Amino acid sequence: MLESLLPLYTYRRMVLRLAYNWLRGRESLGQRLNRRNFDRFSQCRKSRLTCNVCEAVGEPFFDFPDLKLRRDHQIGELRETIQCNCCGSTMRHRTLVSAFLSALNARTGQEFISVEAVRKQGLGNLRVLDTDAFSPTATRLKELPGYTVSSFRPELPMGSALGPNHININLEKIEFHDAAFDVVLTSDVMEHVRDIDAAHREIARLLRPKGVYVFTIPYDPKCVTHHVLVETSGPEDRFLVPPQYHGDPITGGVLAYRVFGRAIFSDLANVDLYARYFEIEDPQALIYGGDVFVATKEMAP
């Protein structure tokens, strides 16, 4: 009933959510309803999005992001918005998909132009692990042979099935054998992993020769190391800044341990993964300065 009266990715639903959160002191309307966001909203109303996930064509949805929150979390203002009003993909997700499709095309010789095309044509012999079980991509592919999605449910046994092709895993110790996957996808996940070095070792272990790790992270290229938000050298977390929680479809909020800097390249090289950083421009998919990393087990020439 609610979905029919207030469909997802509509402005009337957004206005009611803003009002609800404002009345409960959860929202600062000034950080969302301001000139900068209204100018971008006006631009979006004139734009057409051809979604590289679901292939829908139409006006995107602009959700008036909290600009202060974006700055505090060192995340681009547009990165989590300009949504497809059909599948809900954000600019960040379409950026990941752009790199993912390029990796599939290179491995298969196909010309996949969208996730929907992958769903129809299949993956062949390739195996993919997607650590976001609730993304628009996972929604379309999670029952496809060769495509596995994961969640982290610490209250349940690790390695247990949560649904078709849906496995409960801890990225610090993954319940799959060596060289199990051709592609691993993580989308703004690694900042939430406490032992990031262990997670990187596990991803390297999982990848087959010529395997590809495609990922997005909050990234500050001006930082030589990383912005450490939580000290984890001891058994207990020690907060160095006020705790930062990012939205999560299961818990409603998950702790961020770091914002990555340029040390991400040496971190991955330490486990024999060689990363490249891309800024993707695709006006058709409304991707502007989309940031994504692609790491391989072989150093690029």
Amino acid at 138: A
Q: Phi first, then psi: what are they for 60, rounded to 5°?
A: -75, 165
Q: What is the third-level CATH fold of 96-296?
A: Rossmann fold (3.40.50)
Under a CB-based contact definition with an 8 Å cutoff, are residues 297 and 273 in contact? yes
| Strands 161-163 vs 147-151: parallel, antiparallel or unpaired | unpaired
- Residue among 22, 25, 23, 59 nearest 42 (CA): 59
pLDDT at 248: 60
Q: Phi first, then psi: what are they for 274, rounded to 5°?
A: -115, 115
Q: Phi first, then psi: what are they for 192, rounded to 5°?
A: -100, 0
pLDDT in tens, the chain (301 residues): 556 677 888 898 898 888 888 888 877 888 899 999 999 999 999 999 999 999 999 999 999 999 988 888 888 899 999 999 999 999 999 999 999 999 999 999 999 999 999 999 999 999 999 999 999 999 999 999 999 999 999 999 999 999 999 999 999 999 999 999 999 999 999 999 999 999 999 999 999 999 999 999 999 999 999 999 999 999 999 999 999 988 765 556 899 999 999 999 999 999 999 999 999 999 999 999 999 999 998 766 5
Q: What Å distances lie between residue 286 and 32, 138, 226, 234, 266, CA to CA?
A: 21, 21, 29, 43, 31
How many other C-beta atoms can be found within 10 angstroms of the C-beta atom of residue 254? 15
- State the Cα torsion 181-186-189-195 to the nearest 10°: 40
> Whole-prediction pTM value?
0.93
The boundaries of every CATH 3.40.50 domain in the chain are 96-296
Report the greatest alpha carbon distance in the chain. Answer: 56
H or E stretch including 49?
strand 49-50
pLDDT at 205: 97
